[in-house]
Amino acid sequence: MDPVEGGEQGTIESGTASCSVTAQALLQAFRNDRFVFGYSGHFGDDLTARLLDLSDRMIAAMSGASIHRKRSAFLLVEAYQNIIRHRADLPPHIDSGEGRSFFCCRANPSGQDLVAINGVARWRVDALARQLEAIRGMDQMALKDLSMRMLQVPSEGRGAGVGFIEMARRSGNELGHMLRGLGEDHALFALAVRTGDAHPHEKIIREAAILHGTVVMNDILLYQAGHCLPGMSEVVAAMIRNDLEGAVGGLPVLACEAAYSGVARTLDELSPGRRGVCVLARKAGGLVLVQGVEVDGLEAADQLVVFQRSPWIREPGPGPASSMVVSMGGSAEHPVLLVSQVV
């Protein structure tokens, strides 16, 4: 997947178009993945609860055992917490640009990938590299012993070391990372965690970097693509309602949640169990929301009409989107019914 550019803080029209292109690209690029999710909104502790819900639904959908649910939940939260604990206070133009914080995950029955990207102070780079290099190649027993020794160190002296040790131990794999210059005083730090037989770290970080570029260029707050997992739309709606206010500064998050939930229900009823997608971005003083679902090619035209006649579209209820465009996208083999809204 190549980065999709919509222009700096683009117009609503260009923003809607670029988000629509991004939505279709996500479905195509990650067709072999069960589920993908990315977040680049407000990074606060409260989001942790929604990430636990997200992890539980991912593992449940893949019939994972309870031990796998606990492991997945720990890794998801620990990788996310790495951002809010250790990210640097960047200048605004860097914080919203190449130094923007970003969290993403991919899930398959064979394993999961997690990537956390954030800016760090330049003086911390050597320590981070040493901590990660120190645990490279350690087996489970050595990691457990090291973790116990680290817990004897006063908390202010541990830094990120214990978290790295526990992520490596519980994931059963080494951690991957990237450190790249970010001006004179900062660096961009990417941490990759994988479970099972997930993708190699180089592939994980390379593809996460491409997604990060797309997020930055299009000011994307969150996205998700893949199979429509039971209960996942409720988790995304809760994120929109509870976690984006700090990132969008007065934009209508409750109206956006209502718009998202109404379309999500209608698409799920129209094409249940199929692969779907959602992209939410900030554009020209508003929010752009694109949702879609793959449909049967032979019935695509009829399903488009059915969606346009659905009760929710005709009677949106409180907080409707200010405009809506319904169209068909995707390919002849995998047509996608797309709904673009401006809130």
Q: Give me the tens of pLDDT residue by residue for the chain, a chain 343 residues long.
A: 665 554 444 455 666 888 999 999 999 999 988 899 999 999 999 999 999 998 888 877 766 555 567 888 899 999 999 898 889 999 999 999 999 999 999 988 788 899 999 999 999 899 899 999 989 989 889 988 888 887 777 655 555 588 899 999 999 899 999 999 998 899 999 999 998 876 788 899 999 999 999 999 999 999 999 988 888 999 999 999 988 877 777 778 888 999 999 999 888 888 888 899 999 999 877 899 999 999 887 676 777 777 776 665 645 444 444 578 888 888 888 899 999 998 8
246-279 exposure pattern, b = at least 16 Cβ within 10 A, e = fewer? ebbeebbbebbbbbbbbbbebbbebbeebbbbbb
Residues 6+ apart with CB under 8 A from 130: none
* Domain span including residue 182: 12-342
Q: Which of 327, 330, 329, 325 is nearest to 341 (CA)?
A: 325
Q: Is residue 105 part of a domain?
A: yes
According to DSSP, the residues that pair with 330 across neighbouring strands are 335
Radius of gyration of the chain (CA): 20
Number of structural domains (the chain) is 1
Q: Is residue 97 part of a domain?
A: yes
Q: Is residue 4 part of a domain?
A: no
Q: Is residue 67 part of a domain?
A: yes
Q: Is residue 50 part of a domain?
A: yes
Is pTM beyond 0.75 here?
Answer: yes
Q: Is residue 5 part of a domain?
A: no
Q: Is residue 1 part of a domain?
A: no
Kindly state the DSSP code that residue 72 receives in the 8-state scheme.
H
Q: Is residue 2 part of a domain?
A: no
